[in-house]
A = this chain, B = another copy of it.
Amino acid sequence: MLSIRKPLTSLLQLHCKSNVLVQIRHASQALPQFSWEKYNVKRKNFGTIQSSDIGFFKSILDEKRVLTDENDILPYNIDWIKNCRGQSKLVLRPKTTEEVSKILKYCNDRRLAVCPQGGNTGLVGGSVPVFDEIVLSFALMNKIISLDSVSGSMVCEAGCILENLDNYVRERGLIMPLDLGAKGTCHIGGNVSTNAGGLRLLRYGNLHGSILGIEAVKADGTVIDCLKSLKKDNTGYHLKHLFIGSEGTLGLVTKVAIHCPVLPNAVNLGFFGVKNFDNILKLYKSAKKNLGEILSAFEMADFDAINTTVRNLKLPNPIADYPFYVLVETHGSNEAHDSEKLMSFLSKEMETGLILDGTVTSEPAKMQTIWNLRESIAGASLKSGYIFKYDVSIPQKHYYDLVPILKKRMGGRAVSVYGYGHVGDGNIHINVVVPEYNSEVASLMEPYIFEEVSKVNGSISAEHGIGFRKPKYIHYSKDQSALHLMSDLKKLMDPNGILNPYKVLPDEP
């Protein structure tokens, strides 16, 4: 699929959507500013790459898996929202865990910094270098190793693309427990390393629950083999969790074992217009009660989110204009039972007025149209300018509060401010679109938004992670004792700090 890197213009086309490739034509094709300049970062005291280093890497990988040409490397240096840009001069494309181990051992001895990269679909600059870190791409580690269709456990390499895995297991009566807008590009290793949440967490839970085993390589090249594919294994410390969500700073995930649930016999989708956010919460309570175990997604988007997406990407909206939209998906084993539950929910809530209008479908093409609209929101505004993207968890009663507050705060400076996300998980995405990035606007938003989130005990990064963009704000969600323990773990696992530097951990006080 999309495992071979493309130049920048293609890169922007690749991300964002899977089944229907959405053509993102950015207002400007200019390259983004270097991250170190834009964010005023100083290079740490790592080694610099010598020709002897290149020679070593060519001796363990074949020549064409050692990229040194500037044009070849460019896409690896830029994240897909064109926010961050690094200056790497070297990309390595290993095919095996053994190669990853040799590379890391060498880099650790030479104190060469390394930036691991999966599908490069991250939103916090975690997957691109900041200075001249060596990019270690997992794109060629894309083999499915085994699938046990009775227990549902699959073992695969870290560079497998999520959508490819989903297609593979679907043919065998299973589905992947996670689903993201970026599924056509993102790697399972990146999903695990960032603890990706996504669209169906409500039903199938998070990766700490779904990941059965992990193989990872520490900074010194040691391979940690915790690749069991058992549902229950209480033999000592649960080491795999160190690598889930630590964004490649404690070790590089090379293989995963994951539990795949049974492919539902019946899938239904409802898309509803709703008057205000209070009614969305009431609707959510009703869905939890009445749809219960078949509820697989409960998503919301406000008018501006849907309208921008419809307009910029020329996508159809299956219902009329409403202040808010709700998408409800069910996964179940019995079509008759499920559609009865969903239809009864719809008719009941149209009577109460919580739903103003809506459509319910089980036709795959129609469902795809609706999901496509929802999943395209994330990238739709790239056409309108620069997007400040926030991804926060907020206790449900305050879920939407920040959107009108930010609208007011930004006033005429913003092209638009909109909110959408996973109501069921308390996770809202807020996009603030401005004509172009400038530090004055940035300082108006940050740290203000994080302070507000902190006041209601929310999380300043629900699913995107900390990456390069947020270490200086992490204290809004983690206290000093936790930050010290993070720092201790980093020193234990990667004493030279070569793994994904400038990311996740705040500077030492």
The interface of chain A, by Cβ under 8 A from chain B, is 148, 150-151, 194-195, 197, 201, 205-206, 208-210, 218, 222-226, 228-239, 241-242, 244-246, 250, 262, 264-265, 281, 284-285, 288-294, 331-334, 337, 340-341, 393, 395-397, 422, 425-427, 457-466, 470, 474, 477-479, 481-486, 488-489, 492, 504-505
A480: nearest chain-B partner, CB-CB: B225
Q: Is there an interface contact between B234 and A481, defined as CB atoms closer than 8 Å?
A: no
Q: Which residues does chain B contribute within 8 Å of A148, judged by CB atoms?
A: 395
Q: Is there an interface contact between B396 and A151, defined as CB atoms closer than 8 Å?
A: yes
**What would 14 more interface pairs be, CB under 8 Å, given A231-B426, A337-B337?**
A151-B396, A151-B426, A205-B205, A208-B208, A218-B485, A222-B481, A230-B395, A230-B426, A231-B425, A234-B464, A235-B459, A235-B474, A237-B245, A237-B504
**Would you list 30 pairs from A and B whose C-beta atoms are within 8 A, ordered by A residue?**
A148-B395, A150-B396, A205-B209, A206-B231, A228-B477, A229-B457, A230-B393, A230-B462, A232-B393, A232-B422, A233-B459, A233-B477, A234-B461, A234-B465, A235-B474, A236-B486, A236-B505, A237-B250, A237-B486, A237-B489, A238-B244, A239-B482, A241-B241, A262-B289, A289-B333, A293-B331, A293-B333, A337-B337, A337-B340, A337-B341
Given contacts A151-B396, A201-B232, A232-B426, contact A238 B195 (CB under 8 A): yes
A470: nearest chain-B partner, CB-CB: B235
Q: Which residues does chain B contribute within 8 Å of A460, judged by CB atoms?
A: 235
A233: nearest chain-B partner, CB-CB: B459
Minimal beta-carbon separation of A363 from chain B (angstroms): 21
Q: Is there an interface contact between A478 and B333, defined as CB atoms closer than 8 Å?
A: no
Minimal beta-carbon separation of A466 from chain B (angstroms): 6
A181 and B270 CA atoms in complex are apart in Å by 40
Q: Is there an interface contact between A237 and B231, defined as CB atoms closer than 8 Å?
A: no
A244 and B242 CA atoms in complex are apart in Å by 12
Quick one: copies of this chain in the complex?
2
Q: Which residues does chain B contribute within 8 Å of A478, judged by CB atoms?
A: 226, 235-236
Q: Is there an interface contact between B226 and A482, defined as CB atoms closer than 8 Å?
A: yes
A96 and B285 CA atoms in complex are apart in Å by 35
Minimal beta-carbon separation of A472 from chain B (angstroms): 12
Minimal beta-carbon separation of A290 from chain B (angstroms): 7
A237 and B334 CA atoms in complex are apart in Å by 40
A152: nearest chain-B partner, CB-CB: B288
Given contacts A209-B208, A238-B208, A474-B235, contact A230 B485 (CB under 8 A): no
Which of these, B151, B234, B245, B397, contacts A238 with CB under 8 Å? Answer: B245
Q: Is there an interface contact between A393 and B231, defined as CB atoms closer than 8 Å?
A: yes
Q: Which residues does chain B contribute within 8 Å of A483, judged by CB atoms?
A: 236
Q: Is there an interface contact between A333 and B291, defined as CB atoms closer than 8 Å?
A: yes
A381 and B264 CA atoms in complex are apart in Å by 41
Q: Which residues does chain B contribute within 8 Å of A482, judged by CB atoms?
A: 224-226, 236, 239
Q: Is there an interface contact between A485 and B239, defined as CB atoms closer than 8 Å?
A: yes
A205 and B245 CA atoms in complex are apart in Å by 19
**Which interface residue of A218, A232, A425, A463 has the most chain B CB atoms within 10 A?**
A232
Given contacts A148-B395, A237-B242, A492-B492, contact A293 B332 (CB under 8 A): yes
Q: Is there an interface contact between B250 and A246, defined as CB atoms closer than 8 Å?
A: no
A290 and B460 CA atoms in complex are apart in Å by 41
A197 and B242 CA atoms in complex are apart in Å by 20
Q: Is there an interface contact between B427 and A231, defined as CB atoms closer than 8 Å?
A: yes
A460 and B233 CA atoms in complex are apart in Å by 8
Q: Is there an interface contact between B393 and A197, defined as CB atoms closer than 8 Å?
A: no
A471: nearest chain-B partner, CB-CB: B236
Q: Which residues does chain B contribute within 8 Å of A285, judged by CB atoms?
A: 150
Q: Which residues does chain B contribute within 8 Å of A233, judged by CB atoms?
A: 393, 459, 461-462, 477
A237 and B489 CA atoms in complex are apart in Å by 9
Minimal beta-carbon separation of A426 from chain B (angstroms): 6
Minimal beta-carbon separation of A189 from chain B (angstroms): 16
Q: Is there an interface contact between A459 and B292, defined as CB atoms closer than 8 Å?
A: no
Q: Which residues does chain B contribute within 8 Å of A484, judged by CB atoms?
A: 222
Q: Which residues does chain B contribute within 8 Å of A486, judged by CB atoms?
A: 236-237, 239
Q: Which residues does chain B contribute within 8 Å of A474, judged by CB atoms?
A: 235-236
Q: Is there an interface contact between A265 and B292, defined as CB atoms closer than 8 Å?
A: yes
